[in-house]
Amino acid sequence: MWKNEQYRKLQGKYPVIFLTFADVKADNYAESKNSIIACINDAYQSHRYLLKSNLLTDGEKEIFRVLDEYVSNPEPTKTITNEVIFRAVKGLASCLNRYYGQKVIILLDEYDTPMQEAYVHGYWDEFTSFIRSFFNSTFKTNPYMERAIMTGITRVSKESIFSDLNNLTVITTTSERYADCFGFTEKEVFQALDDFDMGNKKKLVKTWYDGFTFGNQKDIYNPWSITNYLKEKQLRPYWAQTSSNGLINKLLQKSSPDIKEMMEELLNDRNIIVNFDEQIVFDQLEQNKNAIWSLMLASGYLKIQEIEYRGMLLTPWYHLCVTNLETMSMFYSMFQGWFHDDASNYNEFINALLNGNVKEMNAYMNDIALTTFSSFDAGKHPSGKTQPERFYHGFVLGLLVDLKERYEVKSNRESGYGRYDVMLIPTNKRDNAFILEFKVHDSEEEKNCRIQCKQH
């Protein structure tokens, strides 16, 4: 790039304000808001040299002090109003504009991480009202901004928090623009492996880290994973370990049986064909069952093998599969995480299942339920739309983690005169097969679960 005179002239021309919301992961609104204040303070402290100039007003200098005191002091003497927070980045841009005589570039990384946390933990409305005002002041009514770049996995064009913004250019995984700029190409990766005397590892590296698709550009490798592999020289899920899967985790556990069937296909290295809206918004996640595919595609956990256009309206149908072994390991880790609070009991539950010991299965199931499940998970969802059976059906997905090599796991398939919930088909005919059925006991209509099972 340095050899290109056009880009060389831009080096150091514009002052930059950088913020990242990657670590804004709180289970309540107050902590999330405080984390964002800390991010803004980081941006201010990186430009403390402005305080030595005579260009700042007393009020602008005071913002530096108030932000720093608020973040560093567990019990700050001064509170910060929302209005101050909303205008803080615009105020810093104004100071930089005067100091350098140039408008400012604003970079915001992972803007939607706190949005996901707000959705998962139930403070969505309060948080989005706050962040909408912050974005409006920072990006729309900011005369000192030259350009801004925001990164996230949720497409912004239909998202209500961006309703006040205009002149947005949205780049997604299916966009052609910058398609080869989001990671390393295969040519670059193979050259790097040769340079590190690791040319004999190309096939393994391709299986683990290849597979990302942007527009028509295939064979894009995750740069974080590749650079870490070149450093450590060990195959590990480097990128998956840095990613937060809370939202996908929640949606999978509470998804409908047919979504779980498609997950089953994906985990067995097969494709699924689905139609979804790339512009899905958070408010539609529980109402639109296919929204999870849009989210997982944007997150990089799934890749597009082919787009098929059907009908007179040329509706897109996406052929999806798991991106690579690294992302497959992410799904396994997610399912194991459902039992993280009592991993030993989880393994014993599997052993009891395989040995046909119903008494031990019951004991371990009770232990897991008491230590791991929440009433919000297994009970009635506040919306009244999520049934307890869905959660327990999602719970069974965890069986895939330990049983995938020994059993083919199927769910909600037609068999005989009805449909079973889960069937474990052994790969070795000498092993037992299992059929699992889930029932909710209604204490007002049925005396006990045993009577209910007989009725069905």
Q: Which DSSP string do the residues of 204-223 spell out, in sequence order? A: HHHHHH--EEETTEEEEEPH
- Look up residue 234 and give its amino acid: Q
Handedness of CA 236, 227, 112, 279 (dihedral sign): negative
Three-state SS for 97-162 is HHHHCCCEEEEEECCCHHHHHHHHHCCHHHHHHHHHHHHHHHHHCCCCEEEEEECCCCCCCCCHHH
Assign 41 to helix, strand or coil: helix
> Which residue in 264, 281, 245 sits closest to 120, CA to CA?
245
Q: Cα angle at 241 between 238 and 245, to 5 degrees?
A: 140
Neighbours of 94 (CB within 10 A): 19
**CB of 282 within 8 A of CB of 125?**
no
Q: Where are the domains of the chain?
A: 5-162, 184-242
- Alpha carbon distances (Å) from 170 to 154, 157, 158, 160, 286: 10, 7, 11, 15, 24
- The length of the chain is 456
> Measured between alpha carbons, how far is 333 from 338 in angstroms, rounded to an integer?
9
Strands 272-274 and 315-322, by their bridges, are antiparallel
Res 84: pLDDT: 92
Phi first, then psi: give them for residue 216, nearest 5 degrees.
Answer: -95, 5
Query: Residue 74: how many CA atoms within 13 Å on its side-chain side?
Result: 0
Q: Is 4 exposed, middle or buried (0-12, 13-18, 19+ CB in 10 A)?
A: exposed
Q: Is 69 exposed, middle or buried (0-12, 13-18, 19+ CB in 10 A)?
A: middle
> Measured between alpha carbons, how far is 420 from 430 in angstroms, rounded to an integer?
22
406 Cβ contact list (under 8 Å, min separation 6): 426, 427, 428, 431
Handedness of CA 187, 188, 191, 196 (dihedral sign): negative
Q: Residue 97 corresponds to which tokens in the numbers above?
A: 């504009």
Q: Residue 455 corresponds to which tokens in the numbers above?
A: 């009725």
Res 39: pLDDT: 95
Q: Which residues of the chain have pLDDT under 70?
A: 74-78, 154-166, 240-246, 278-287, 335-347, 368-402, 412, 414, 416-417, 440-456
